[in-house]
Amino acid sequence: MNILNFKSSNCLFMKKFSISIPILICLFLSVNAQETDWQSIASGVWQLKVGQEQSITLLGAAGAKPDMEALKKLPEADFPLDKAMIRAEVIDGKTYLRFPLQRKEEIYGLGLNFQTHNQRGRILNLHVDHYARPDNGRTHAPVPFYVSTRGYGVLIDAASYLTVYVGTAIRTDADDPPELLDRNTDKDWKAQPYSDAVEILVPADGADVYVFGGPSMLKAVQRYNLFNGGGVLPPKWGLGFTQRVPTLYSDRDILKEVKAFEKHNFPLDFIGVEPGWHSMAYPCTFEWDKNRFPDPKGFIQSLRDRGVRANLWLNPYVSPAGTLYEKVKPYSGSHTVWNGLVPDFTMPEPVELFREHFMQQHIALGVSGYKVDEVDGFDSWIWPDVATFPSGTSAEEMRQVYGLLFQRMSSDWFREINQRTYGLVRASNAGASSLPYVIYNDYYSHHDFITALINSSFIGVLWTPEVRSSDWSEEWLRRMQSVCFSPMAMLNAWADGTKPWSFPEVEEQVREAAMLRMRLLPYIYSTFARYRFEGIPPFRAMQLVEGLSLRSETSEGKLDSSENPYASYATREIKYQYMMGESILVAPMFAGEESREVLLPPGKWYDFYTGELAGEEEVITIVPGLDRIPLFVKDGAIIPMLKEERTRMPEVGEKPALEIRHYGEKPGVFTLYDDDGVSFNYEQEQYSLTELWVRKQGSSVTQGMSVSNEKYFYYSSDPVWVFMTK
């Protein structure tokens, strides 16, 4: 439904002939959205269509399909805002949106930010780009979705460069205006006075707006993810360790690398083949180089024989030296990237040409996935905003959705052969929750990589704090520990050739972190299953812990740490700790730091390694030593693990033994999810749910395990129970 079906050019026309008359004619023409225009389109999800229907949208490009059944399972929600306070109008070809804010409300999300959390008081121009400091909206996933500490979410589904004023714009007719102060004499004068609204400028004559109900922030995020089809469930091998090899490694070099991993007893489930596999790269041919890879099929098979899969690097720009060039040319943009064509993937023809080529040349050979590089920017070498595309899609729209389009297209190839993939991508956007890709970049600040991991949980994307190289062993170990507690445990050695054992003095500790990740498979896989079926982000910000109130006063520009140290702490340190699944709190250490503070949410928390009590709803200071990444477990938590260390994730048919841990005193329940780990058969209910439970009463402990669908339970049925807290 278009609520504004007049042409914006009318308004422009008015302007020209009325420049000096103080008129409200333009405003008169710009009808505001009515309260009745909101449509309930899924449980707890409302839609408002503003202005003209746009041919390109983010959710459309992502191919996002709401999981209506899963949404229904969430508690019902009321529309979380006062509809009368929401404004939406189209003026002169642009869409103006406004949502109310209350005092002390905080706003999270709005893109993959690296240095900030709460976006209130900030202005973001959401623009797909290489991230280059500061957080200004230009990033790899500038998702126009935010969640509020008041427990709701808002999505602007528009494939353009949105500007979002998050509590900075102040209207003459503000509902809750700031105090008037004289800077000459008043110490309390503020450069940025209080604002009661989020305002958004969409440089297009329409947009789809969605509101997601709560009542908690997490529930709003869940609804957002489920509305996009639910989170991705990676194949089990995707949760193992992955190494990316130097650019020009040949098939022999790579096999040698795999053997070296075996010799060092280091986990390796898939290996990243960098640009050298192409007969030409930057731009790309997507054809195997005959010298470095004379027998691609044999090469992939030798890897598979050793339990290792291959992921191929690419950028989508088509080299004149390849066979795709002439075929794709009619469906490409006006501008080149490194002399390569930019295929217009909003059109079916190049999508089909790519499908044919990729299915035949890679996927039929056993290639497990891709690393999709250079779809983010940066401006100097990606197509310019003056580029045109044969479909009529603008360069700006194309920039905002290109990463989504490639993710969606390539996911479809694997779905066609009923195999899950798990790859890497440099650009994403709204609607990506179910796309099997993890975002990465070149920025390489360990601290900010962790903040990005946390922020990814607000916006339905996955992020890896990849490791490349380090100047010294402590930094190496700290980075390797972190990446093993992220969506993809990756060492990206394309440039440096670093190995996990490159720093022999910490080789054992690095291996321990990687092995722990392997052993945690049952826990992590179940965690991703909740992402898939319930929309709960597997790695997530403390702000999404339900029942934890972290509201700070930062938006007021004042911070009195003596009055409320908890709030002060929240603004400072909360950027560097996160939850992995329901029960494990990860507090990474950074090189050069011997101690750190950790915020423990309500309830008792236990040391993962020892089971000892760490604290209860407080900020603790820890001095953990070098060997291990600090992990804390919730009281009553059950953590199912593999009993034995291993270097490959289980293949279908294997039945590894379980070790089931319990922490603390409270009774615990854990639902262990399992399936074949590789196919989409789980969509036909070919999965098992196993209930694990523990009850402690005084010195007596009871526990149990009941499997729902044994056929799809790929663990041995006699777990070892370990009660970590004595």
Q: Contacts with a copy of itself in 84-103 (CB under 8 A)? A: 91-94, 96, 98
- Residue among 43 and 555 whose Cβ is closer to a copy of itself: 555
Q: How many residues in the shown chain lie near a copy of itself by CB under 8 A? A: 97
Phi, psi of 642 (to 5 degrees): -75, 140
Question: Is there binding between residue 1 and a copy of itself (CB under 8 A)?
Answer: no
Check if the beta carbon of residue 687 is closer than 8 Å to that of residue 533: no
Rounded CA-CA distance 222/598 in Å is 26
Place of tokens 């102060």: 181
**Candidate residues 58, 200, 328, 599; the one interacting with a copy of itself per rule CB under 8 A:** 200
- Residue among 9 and 716 whose Cβ is closer to a copy of itself: 9
**Candidate residues 53, 553, 654, 659; the one interacting with a copy of itself per rule CB under 8 A:** 53
Which among 38, 61, 228, 45 has a CA at the least distance from the CA of 154? Answer: 45
Half-sphere exposure of 135 (CA within 13 A, CB side): 24
Question: Is there binding between residue 15 and a copy of itself (CB under 8 A)?
Answer: yes
Stretch that binds a copy of itself, among 10-18, 254-262, 450-458, 579-587 (CB under 8 A): 10-18
- Residue among 172 and 595 whose Cβ is closer to a copy of itself: 172
**Candidate residues 213, 333, 369, 677; the one interacting with a copy of itself per rule CB under 8 A:** 333
Which among 344, 337, 324 has a CA at the least distance from the CA of 278? Answer: 324
Quote the strand ranges of 11-69, DSSP E.
Answer: 39-42, 45-51
B/e letters for 151-168, b = 16+ CB within 10 Å, e = fewer, are: bbbbbbbbbbbbbbbbbb
- Residue among 281 and 425 whose Cβ is closer to a copy of itself: 281
Q: According to CB under 8 A, which residues from 133 to 192 bind a copy of itself?
A: 163, 165, 168-174, 177-184, 189, 191-192
Q: According to CB under 8 A, which residues from 371 to 430 bind a copy of itself?
A: 379-381, 383-388, 390-394
Q: How far is CA 170 from CA 32, 98, 190, 433, in A?
A: 19, 11, 13, 34
Phi, psi of 663 (to 5 degrees): -120, 140
Q: Min. distance of Cβ 707 from a copy of itself in angstroms?
A: 48
- Residue among 9 and 301 whose Cβ is closer to a copy of itself: 9
- Residue among 94 and 696 whose Cβ is closer to a copy of itself: 94
Check if the beta carbon of residue 621 is closer than 8 Å to that of residue 567: no
- Residue among 387 and 484 whose Cβ is closer to a copy of itself: 387
- Residue among 175 and 685 whose Cβ is closer to a copy of itself: 175
Rounded CA-CA distance 282/293 in Å is 18
Q: Which amino acid is at 339?
A: N
Check if the beta carbon of residue 360 is closer than 8 Å to that of residue 324: no
- Residue among 173 and 305 whose Cβ is closer to a copy of itself: 173
Q: Min. distance of Cβ 368 from a copy of itself in angstroms?
A: 22
Q: Min. distance of Cβ 89 from a copy of itself in angstroms?
A: 9
Question: Is there binding between residue 555 and a copy of itself (CB under 8 A)?
Answer: no
Tokens of 211: 């509101």
Rounded CA-CA distance 268/240 in Å is 7
- Residue among 421 and 492 whose Cβ is closer to a copy of itself: 492
**Candidate residues 59, 143, 341, 439; the one interacting with a copy of itself per rule CB under 8 A:** 341
Rounded CA-CA distance 65/227 in Å is 7
Phi, psi of 677 (to 5 degrees): 85, 0
Q: Min. distance of Cβ 331 from a copy of itself in angstroms?
A: 6
Q: Min. distance of Cβ 285 from a copy of itself in angstroms?
A: 9
Rounded CA-CA distance 633/584 in Å is 5
Helix 507-519 to helix 473-483 angle (10° resolution) is 0
Question: Is there binding between residue 16 and a copy of itself (CB under 8 A)?
Answer: yes
- Residue among 557 and 704 whose Cβ is closer to a copy of itself: 557
Q: Min. distance of Cβ 24 from a copy of itself in angstroms?
A: 7
* Intra-chain end-to-end CA distance of the chain, in Å: 62
Question: Is there binding between residue 554 and a copy of itself (CB under 8 A)?
Answer: no
- Residue among 136 and 411 whose Cβ is closer to a copy of itself: 136
Kindly state the helix (H) or strand (E) to which residue 477 belongs, with its residue range. helix 473-483
Q: Min. distance of Cβ 289 from a copy of itself in angstroms?
A: 8
Q: Min. distance of Cβ 26 from a copy of itself in angstroms?
A: 5
**Candidate residues 34, 40, 339, 717; the one interacting with a copy of itself per rule CB under 8 A:** 339
Q: Min. distance of Cβ 325 from a copy of itself in angstroms?
A: 11
Question: Is there binding between residue 355 and a copy of itself (CB under 8 A)?
Answer: no
Rounded CA-CA distance 351/353 in Å is 6
Binding mask 259-298 for a copy of itself (x = CB under 8 A): ----------------xx-x-xxx------x---------
Binding mask 616-655 for a copy of itself (x = CB under 8 A): ----------------------------------------
Q: Min. distance of Cβ 367 from a copy of itself in angstroms?
A: 19
- Residue among 199 and 512 whose Cβ is closer to a copy of itself: 199
Whether omega before 294 lies within 30 degrees of 0, making that bond cis, reads: no
Helix (H/G/I), strand (E/B), else coil: 564: coil
Question: Is there binding between residue 347 and a copy of itself (CB under 8 A)?
Answer: yes
| Edge-to-edge order in the sheet of strand 668-674 | 668-674, 688-697, 700-707
Question: Is there binding between residue 107 and a copy of itself (CB under 8 A)?
Answer: no
Q: According to CB under 8 A, which residues from 213 to 252 bind a copy of itself?
A: 247-248
Rounded CA-CA distance 630/541 in Å is 16
- Residue among 20 and 684 whose Cβ is closer to a copy of itself: 20
**Candidate residues 123, 260, 591, 689; the one interacting with a copy of itself per rule CB under 8 A:** 123
Rounded CA-CA distance 336/376 in Å is 15
| Sequence-ordered alpha helix ranges (H) in 17-55 | 25-29
Question: Is there binding between residue 203 and a copy of itself (CB under 8 A)?
Answer: yes
Q: Which amino acid is at 689?
A: L
Phi, psi of 157 (to 5 degrees): -90, 85
Number of other residues whose CB lies within 10 A of the CB of residue 102: 10
